Amino acid sequence: MISRRKLLSASALALTPAVNAFGALNFNINKTWDVIVIGSGLAGLSAAIAAKENKAKDVLIIEKTSLIGGHSRSSSGSFCAALPTNIDKNGVPDSPQLMAREIYEYGGKLGSMELINILAEQSVNAYRWLASKGVKWSAPFIPVGASYPRGFHSNAPLSGFDYVHKLTTNARELGINFLFRREVTDLLTDDGRGAVCGVVIRDTYGTLKYLKAKTVILATGGFTDNPVMRARYDSRLSSSLHSTANPFGRGLLTATGDGIRMAQELGADTIDMEHIQTLFYLGGRLLDYVGGDIYLDSRGKRFINEGSSLKQISDTVFSLGLKEVWILTDAKSHKGPNFENRIKNGIVNKCNSLEEVASLIRCPIENLKRTLDRYNTDAESNSDSEFGKTTVLQKIDRPPYFVGKEKLGVHFCCGGLKFDRYARVLDTYEAPIPNLYVAGEAAGGIHGNNRMGGCALVECVVFGRIAGTHAAEISL
């Protein structure tokens, strides 16, 4: 925490023109900004645009890397919305109440029902808002953990990138300013009531600059890219595991818990920090639904109900000590996005026979045939005799077969900063920290111990817009 006295004494440091990834910008960074948003992912972009749409004049997004989008950019783009046109297999329409109940139950009944209800109720508006920005939606599918077809992708090859691209274009049209390659190291507060009044940034040369703001929104993401912070809450998540946004360890490390740390230094409270979601994310799984593929160990045997929660699957993989898992489907299953690219790049292998599959996995062909014979027999009766999967939808018996190798990656931090219905960051006494808001994965309290599929990005948009709207009201 840095007081206003230090801000004023160091104001001369903030005279260098702003430079972003696209070249020099001539806007004056030394003004008092109405809203400063830290982070340029879907939550940050949504917050900044909402602030502008609600009459905030001077809005600045600060991004510590040279690339816009954060983890949202590399996301598969699954987005839940409780549209009344989502009909389940029994002909019953979806609703926010059903969506909220499933989120709550999937998260071990630990999440705040107040926040969950807001998320579910506003999911349709978030869906329509993105559509108004140019997003073209796919047909619905059933996301992991849900029972209704309320998951959507953009009709673009890279859905997460598409959302970021559409909102970035809109943000620039609205006159929102961007500052790249600047790390926010601290939050500024006044000397009286502890209200946030700006940020400290450090450029690539290590020079500190102090920016004043009427409100600050933390959209900095979680801490999946920070092995030390991860291990503090879950000792299984060693540095040998990469985040799903950086599965091969060669990309930028963006989600390092910066916003959570800075807010904690002001007395902010956290919740559910120990609940960190891991899942398969090397790209070896081609499907967005349960029932058309099976998970195999190195012996060619199933080891779990593939319809289990992500937490159950991860815990089983950890407990069995599986270093890698093979995922098998066939020609008739409905493939998800980037199918052709995954085949072309060798992430998924195309095999014309089970013998080829067994050779690839290096397992006995007898094991593989026995596994599939049992699964296909069960699929005919829609009853999984081995692991009790209730969504055995189809047999896996039509060549060519497709098989990909998977490893666990650190995917999502269910926990984060405590916040309220207005997206205000709360301190350890449950009181809002004045002028400080949070949205996206830096926020905790919704997902409990396990996040349902498709609910991360909709949270970014819903609470990003809430944060931006209320920050704008404060700044006027």
Instruction: Supply the CATH number for residue 369's domain.
Output: 3.90.700.10
pTM above 0.75, yes or no: yes
**Confidence grade of residue 3 (pLDDT, cut at 50, 70, 90):** very low
On whether both 309 and 381 belong to a single domain, the answer is yes
Residue 232's alpha-carbon distances to 56, 239, 279, in angstroms, are: 39, 12, 19
On whether both 213 and 72 belong to a single domain, the answer is yes
On whether both 273 and 250 belong to a single domain, the answer is yes
Q: Which two tokens stand for residue 275?
A: 């609940």
Number of domains in the chain: 2
64 in Cβ contact with 184 (< 8 Å)? yes
At residue 337, φ and ψ (nearest 5 deg) are -60, 155
Is the Cα dihedral 280, 274, 123, 170 positive or negative?
A: negative
Using alpha carbons only, how large is the chain's radius of gyration in Å? 23
On whether both 260 and 361 belong to a single domain, the answer is no
> Residue 246's domain is classified under what CATH number?
3.50.50.60
At residue 395, φ and ψ (nearest 5 deg) are -75, 155
pLDDT in tens, 320-369: 999 899 999 999 998 877 788 889 888 999 999 999 999 999 999 999 99
pLDDT in tens, 68-102: 999 999 898 999 999 999 998 889 999 999 999 99
Is the Cα dihedral 201, 161, 457, 286 positive or negative?
A: negative
How many residues appear in the chain? 476
At residue 285, φ and ψ (nearest 5 deg) are -95, 125
Over residues 398-427, mean pLDDT: 96
On whether both 212 and 101 belong to a single domain, the answer is yes
DSSP bridge pairs for 37: 61, 217
Q: Which of 378, 406, 434 is the last residue of a domain?
A: 406
Which residue range is the domain that position 173 belongs to?
A: 1-277+413-476
